[in-house]
Structure 1
């Protein structure tokens, strides 16, 4: 990457931090822009045609990934234009990427049991339990601290998307787990002499390895599928979807609906709630008298 590209990227990162964007968002955008610069050979001076060619490149990537890349590129070039570092904004000419409506991809109960019982270490099991019983993302699992547990009120604190601090009900399984974890330290401390907690990417990698050990071959199942299982099973047990929305800390109900899979049993029960009616065996037309 050229020096002026590095400088522009550094300024963009500073700008995003000043916006108080989530660290994961900033890291993901930096990764996308760095990969793009390596592919294109330039960053600041890129033209719209190169941007389109990159977004539409022939590669085994999903529409959702293309949309994420488009978002990072658009944010970067909008920043350059607004700051006067470019006279134009080449990202304005990128087409909108249509993404099929997402479908839930939850782990089954049997798969979660397999994750927990096929050689997972203590901290791996703790991550899996937090993902399923609290519905936490990897980014919420990584920084869990003993001081996040309020035993008096039965709550657990987490920082969700948008850097909002939220207190969630503490599931009894996690309350029991807390008895075996540090009271006043990170549950998953960083290694290699680093301070603080492990990275969210490390949580993802650890649970992914547990999935492989468990012999779960479905590619669409990821560590995030624990969160989908959390939401799906709550709905299956009859929990109101608005409650599920709050437990997932979703701003929009439409997002929660993507996470929840409705079972055939629930569909059967739902359709049978409609009361039956007595239906005549014949039309009854023959008995109708026509007035003279």
Structure 2
């Protein structure tokens, strides 16, 4: 039986089975293209949100439905833009693989979102989380987020075999399955002596094998944040990575070096960290030489003055 024959028929449906089957094919498609598991899971979540919002089969979803869904209140412009990207990818896949005969996202307007700004934890806040009574592995996650600048998905996937003590480096896989070997911070080198040398640092629980998911890392660090009395909703586990980038720039590390350490594809992404240091702004303004301001205009001495 060919693949096309196994696909769900284009018909009116009221249950979620056909959505789930289409999503399963979509996930396979993305994996074959080398997309990260985090991206695949996030896109699936956005598609399921649309399904609940529309209450329609995927072949019935219209441009109006998509506009109404993306325009719903309570979501930020950045989230709306990310969600639009996921839906565009999903419906283009449905068209390419003959799940439906058209693509309703063709005329879906791009979402304008303000330029992102870092939302870093301060060192005092990071210390408060470490001293909050968090368990040893949660503290290790916090340290990896700040001293290596890892995303939660990278934190969850750390393996003892990633550490190379001879070169003092750590292997990690970032967005787009980009594999890098980065300098190992001394704090993490010391941490490694207390963690498994030939196994996952944060193994999955229960019947699952492998390592914990990024969502579990998020939950654990968030609990430490709450215990530390940090109430700012804009501060998330990803803010540890923002603190990493911000403090590197504050230490006057070359921006290209920061880009490499943070595994940013574009320098423009890294440059958002250059605008957050009030100390450096003040130093820049103070660098302008002063001058004596005359008390009088001097017009009487120079009648031709403007």
TM range (shorter): over 0.9
Cα separation, partners in 2 of 1:9 and 1:288, compared to 1, 3 Å: same
Aligned to 1:217, the other structure's residue is in SS state coil
Q: Which residue number in structure 2 is paired with residue 34 of structure 1?
A: 48
Is the Cα contact below 8 Å between 1:145 and 1:187 reproduced in 2? yes
C-alpha contact (below 8 Å) 2:63/2:104 kept by paired residues: yes
Aligned ranges 1:83-122 → 2 under 5 Å: 83-122=97-136
Aligned length: 289
Task: Provide Cα deviations, 1:22-65, integer angstroms capped at 9, x if missing partner.
Answer: 1011111111111211221222321111111111123x111111
SS of the aligned residue for 2:173 comes to: strand
Asked if 1 retains the 8 angstrom alpha-carbon contact of 2:160 and 2:196, the reply is: yes
1:128-170 CA distance string (max 9 Å, x none): 0000000000011001011111111111110011101101111
Is the 1:190–1:197 Cα contact (8 Å) retained in structure 2?
Answer: yes
- Residue in structure 2 matching 1:264, options 278, 282, 292: 278
Q: Is this contact kept in 1: 2:70–2:84, CA < 8 A? A: yes
Q: Is residue 2:150 matched to residue 1:139?
A: no
Aligned match of 1:57 in 69, 72, 76? 72
Structure 1 distance, partners of 2:155, 2:164, is: 17
Q: C-alpha root-mean-square deviation of aligned residues, in Å?
A: 1.9
- Is contact 1:231-1:260 (8 Å) kept? no
- Give the stretch that moved more between structures: 96-105 or 199-208: 96-105
Distance 1:262 1:287 in 2: 48
Q: Structure 1 stretch 2-11 or stretch 169-178: which is displaced more?
A: 2-11
Structure 1 residues 268 and 2, CA, compared in 2 at 3 Å: closer, same or farther?
A: closer
Determine whether 1:181 maps to 2:162.
no
Matched, 1:162 2:176: yes
Written as runs of structure 1 = structure 2, the 5 A alignment for 1:185-196 is 185-196=199-210
Unaligned 5+ segments in structure 1 are none
Residue 216 of structure 2 is matched in structure 1 by 202
State which of 233, 236, 239 in structure 1 corresponds to 2:247: 233
CA distance in 2, matches of 1:156, 1:193: 28
The answer to whether the Cα contact below 8 Å between 2:118 and 2:276 also exists between their aligned partners in 1 is no
> For residues 199-240 of structure 1, what are the alpha-carbon distances to aligned partners after superposition, in whole Å with 9 as ceiling and x for unaligned?
010000100000000000000000000011111111111111
- Structure-2 separation of matches of 1:244 and 1:188: 27
In 2, the alpha carbon distance for the partners of 1:9 and 1:201 equals: 20
265-274 or 24-33, larger mean C-alpha shift: 265-274
Question: Please, which of 47, 53, 67 is the counterpart of residue 62 of structure 2?
Answer: 47
User: For structure 2, which runs of at least 5 residues remain unmatched after alignment?
Assistant: 1-14
